[in-house]
Amino acid sequence: MRLTHGLAVWTMVGCTALWSMAGVVTRHLEQARSFEVTFWRSFFTVASLLVILPLWQGRSVWSRLPLRSRYFWYSGICWSVMFTAFMVALTLTAVANVLITMAVGPLLTALITRVFLGHRLPARTWVAIALAGIGIAWMYGSQLSLGDPNFLIGSLVALCVPIAGSVQWTLTQKSQSEGQSLDLVPSVMLGALMSTLLTLPMSMPFQASAHDVGLLALLGLFQLAIPCALSVVCARVLKAPEVALLALLEIVFGIALAWWGANEAPQLSVLFGGALVLGALLLNEWLGWSQNNV
């Protein structure tokens, strides 16, 4: 499955919209808490991909798993960290706090690809990263002023997400540059399986109601399985920092959904910072499109 650059961009936008569901859905859980939330979401992600992958790539997908590739296992670890840390962080602090912390992804990705892959980024991407950084700092500062006792712990847990995400996108680029036509989509399922096994002992005894399990099943399919698999396909076409910048749209969508669906109203400074981040994304994509169509 190979996408054009434009279609990859719009597919990533759709992925971020689906990813952003997690915050508002989590706020409507009745009894499930912390690691149990992560367990059920990861469990249903595995179940969903067990159905999706054979339908998408044929029954032979299991015989084609790149089990001997270190990239496959590294990628699975990255997905596992992202799946686990994100949901745990959401149970510790506000949706906006988690999403803002995750927004350091482009900065980390640019640094990692520059150091380990030697990528030279165009000036427009550096400008977009700088503008996004200003918006993030503006939002982050406003949250620090609130004095949330769980803010620091929740933010540190959430920080694991962009670190793992930056390594994930860079690994995808690295495997492609080495001429290895690896299908890393199954690594999403591997990551979910690792997350399921990791959080199972810490989830006992189960407390989730049938209502909670239903919502977490919804997240497993539509918030993780489908968009994460598609994002791996997009990463084959888009550069790693470009993927990370597009992923920042999850901040805007996620805060808006939490505000609308769970009454977690952000401060005006958060809205201003989010608008600056979105503006940076649009500027980068528009300039890139213009240069490619001259």
pLDDT in tens, 3-56: 788 888 899 999 999 999 988 999 898 888 888 999 999 999 999 999 988 988
What is the arithmetic mean of pLDDT over 110-126? Answer: 76
Residue 215 has a pLDDT of: 94
- Measured over the CA atoms of residue 205, residue 211, residue 214 and residue 220, the dihedral's sign is negative
Per the CB < 8 A criterion, the answer to whether 161 and 81 are in contact is yes
Per the CB < 8 A criterion, the answer to whether 96 and 20 are in contact is no
The b-or-e profile of 57-78 (16+ CB within 10 A means b, else e) is: eeeebeeeebeebebbebbbbb
Per mean pLDDT, which range of 6-15, 197-206, 242-251, 284-293 is the poorest? Answer: 284-293
Torsion of CA 108, 112, 115, 118, to 10 degrees: -120
What is the arithmetic mean of pLDDT over 113-141? Answer: 77
Band (pLDDT 50/70/90 cuts) for residue 82 is very high
Mean pLDDT in the chain?
A: 83
Residue 148 has a pLDDT of: 62
What is the arithmetic mean of pLDDT over 122-147? Answer: 76
Residue (of 290, 289, 293, 283) closest to 127 by Cα position: 283
Band (pLDDT 50/70/90 cuts) for residue 111 is confident
Q: Could you please report the per-residue DSSP string of 39-82?
A: HHHHHHHHHHHHHHHHHHH-GGGTTT--TT-HHHHHHHHHHHHH
Residue 60 has a pLDDT of: 85
For 202-208, the CB contacts below 8 A with 24+ separation are 202/34, 202/35, 202/39, 203/35, 203/36, 203/38, 203/39, 203/40, 206/36, 207/31, 207/32, 207/33, 207/36, 208/29, 208/31, 208/32, 208/36, 208/37, 208/40
Residue 185 has a pLDDT of: 75
> Would you say residue 156 has pLDDT above 70?
yes
> Would you say residue 152 has pLDDT above 80?
no
Per the CB < 8 A criterion, the answer to whether 134 and 126 are in contact is no
> Would you say residue 234 has pLDDT above 60?
yes
Band (pLDDT 50/70/90 cuts) for residue 149 is low
Residue 3 has a pLDDT of: 76
Q: Residue 2 burial (CB < 10 Å; 0-12/13-18/19+)?
A: exposed
205: preceding bond cis by omega (within 30 degrees) = yes
> Would you say residue 266 has pLDDT above 90?
no
* Tokens matching residue 194: 């690792």
> Would you say residue 198 has pLDDT above 90?
yes
Phi, psi of 178, deg, nearest 5 = -85, 5
Residue 65 has a pLDDT of: 85
Q: What is the CA radius of gyration of the chain?
A: 18
> Would you say residue 278 has pLDDT above 80?
no
> Would you say residue 232 has pLDDT above 80?
no
**Domains of the chain: which residue ranges?**
5-292
> Would you say residue 293 has pLDDT above 70?
no
